[in-house]
Each structure stands twice: as C-alpha cells, then as structure tokens.
Amino acid sequence: MFKLLSFTCLLILISINSYSQKIITTLIPPQPIKDTASHWVKKNRIGFDISEIAFVNWNAGGTSSISGLLKTKFNRVYTKDNYNWSNELIMRYGLNKQDGIELRKTDDVFQFNSAFGYRNDTISNWYHTAKFNFNTQFTDGYSYPNKEISVSKPFAPAYVFLGLGAEYATKKKDRMLYLSPFTSKMTFVLDQRLANQGSFGVEKAIYDINGNLIRQGEKSKIELGILVTGLYKKEVVKNVTLENRVSLYSDYINKFGNIDVDYDLVLDLVVNEHIRTNIGAHIIYDDDIKAKEDVNGEQITVGPKTQLKQTLGVGLVYDF
C-alpha cells in the first residue's frame, strides 16, 4: 500500500515541478463572485492536503505514514451604502495513519464568524460593529496514545463570543482591527463526564468524602470582558501570501488582566491556480484549559500551558 502511495506522491511532486516553471507572470488569482443586484460578494474555497513517507528495507529505520487534511472556507459579504455584513464559515478535518498505529486525528475545526457593521459615511474605514463567533469540533479528541477516554467532544467544548465594538477594515479586507469593551464569552461543555471534571473552565462536580456525587458539574460558563481581534494579510513576494489572525480576550470579573491568546499564522505559496503549499502555526493560551500529562500510564491534570500546532502541506485548492 505504501509503495503505491509513494508512487502517487512522486507523480504529484513531478507535476508541481513542471508547473513551477509557468507561474512567474501568467497566474491570475480567482476573483470572488459579486451579485450586483443583491449587493452580495461570494467566495468559496475547498482544499485537500496530503503528505506521505514510506520506508522499504531502510537501514536507518523509520515509520511509514500518510496524512490527509480536508479544508473549506466559505465567505459571504453584503455591502450596501454604509452597511456591511460579513460571514465566514471555516471547516477543517485531518487524519494520520502510521504503520502499526491506529488512525489518529490531526485537525478538527468548525468555526463560524459573522459581523454586522455601520459607518457614518462611505469614506471612513471605521464601523460600529456587532460580532458573533462560534467554534467547536466534529469528533471526539484524545490525548494519544490513550484512545479509551476522550478529552474533548463535539460541543464539549463549544465557544461563543458575542459583543459590540468598533472595527477598522480596509476595502480589500486585508487589514482589520476590532475593539470591543463589551464581549460575552460563553463556554459550553455538553458532555456531563467532562463537565463533572471541570474541563475547559466550567465549575466541576462536588463529591462527599466517600466519593458520592452531591452536585453535577456545570455545563456552561459565561464571562464578560474585553476583546481585541486583528487580521493582516499581505503578498510578501510574488505568489507568496502571509496571513496573520490574532484574538486577545480578558474577563472583567475572573482574573482581569489574564489574557486568553489565539494566534494563527499561515504562509500560502502558490504553485499554480489549483496547487498550493502552505505553512502554518497556531498558538493558543487559555487559563481555563488545563493540560494533561501521562505519568506511569495515568493521565494527570496539570496547570494551563501554551498550546502550539505547526503544519506543512502541499495540496489541491479549488475556488468557485
């Protein structure tokens, strides 16, 4: 199986090298579709990344593996006079299979963002904006190699941000800054086992000295705080685009000044209209998310830690 996959990936790499000689001046990036009658601008993107490595009689050793990542992004923007309504749906799901090891999840994202803004005149780039954000996952997550007990599930957690503020946005939407002094952060943990453990910051269950349950853990937590988000997107060199997204949140009541950080960086390298290479880094710090460590075969909950995910992929992209 891995021999066949190796041959397939070799053909893909040969195709990439062949195309790479043609992209200097002829590439025209796809343009979003604008419905002038309804004032909507629509943009859709579907991509699939694959990476593979195989060993046959390799003296230095190694483990054969193959990874795949399916990702989609759908944008709908309504613009009329001084009004702007932006909607974005992001979905990603990735799997990895190593020789002799069970199938494992590498990425799992379901995110919806919506912002409605009003500006005083058509010249200003500042908007009075209401924002909504929803974020969860598709399937159970595990702290590998433990595959018996899940550490997260769909809607466990799920995060909702809802707030009012001011937003600066350029016409191309390549630079954006949002400032909200009144944003509610709602955390949902709809799995009772995880809620009883106090996962993701909800209030955990109460037991008596004999271990009998007195009160179930809370399945939700509501906070009110300040939110700052930013986006910066730029073509740093020909056919190479850098995109930065950052979100900073601090709760007024619970440890004000303790900032939750969500930073996402993506470097997109265009080979041709449908083949791209991307390099990404995602950093998260949330004081409510406690890390787990494996000690003598038992998972122990420790304090919060900085979470880091790095990605490198080559794949197909289709815009429509």
Q: Which amino acid is at 231?
A: L
| Topology of the domain covering 2-319 | Outer membrane phospholipase (ompla); Chain C (2.40.230)
pLDDT tens for each residue of 125-184: 999 999 999 999 999 999 888 888 999 999 999 999 999 999 999 988 899 999 999 999
Q: What is 155-212 written as a DSSP string?
A: TBTEEEEEEEEEEEE-TTSSEEEEEEEEEEEEEE---HHHHHTTGGGPPPPEE-TTS-
List the domain boundaries for the chain.
2-319
Unique residue bearing structure tokens 């709809």: 190
pLDDT, tens digit (0-9, with 9 covering 90-100), for 31-90: 555 555 678 999 999 999 988 888 887 887 788 999 999 999 999 999 998 999 999 999
Q: How confident is the model at residue 3 (pLDDT cuts 50, 70, 90)?
A: very low
pLDDT score, position 100: 85
Burial of 112-124, coded b for 16+ CB within 10 Å and e otherwise, reads: bbebbbebeeeee
Residue 185 scores a pLDDT above 70: yes
Residue 203 has pLDDT above 90, yes or no: yes
Residue 202 in contact with residue 185, Cβ under 8 Å?
no
Burial class of residue 202 in the structure, from the number of CB atoms within 10 Å of its CB (0-12 exposed, 13-18 middle, 19+ buried): buried
- Helices assigned H by DSSP within the chain: 2-19, 192-196
List, in order, residues 6 or more apart from 120 with CB less than 8 Å away: 82
pLDDT at 9 exceeding the cut of 70: no
Residue 13: is its pLDDT beyond 80?
Answer: no
- The CB density around residue 286, as the number of other CB atoms within 10 Å, is 21
Whether the per-residue pLDDT at 1 is higher than 60: the answer is no
Strand segments (E) across 57-100: 65-80, 83-98
Token couple for 177 = 């800054």
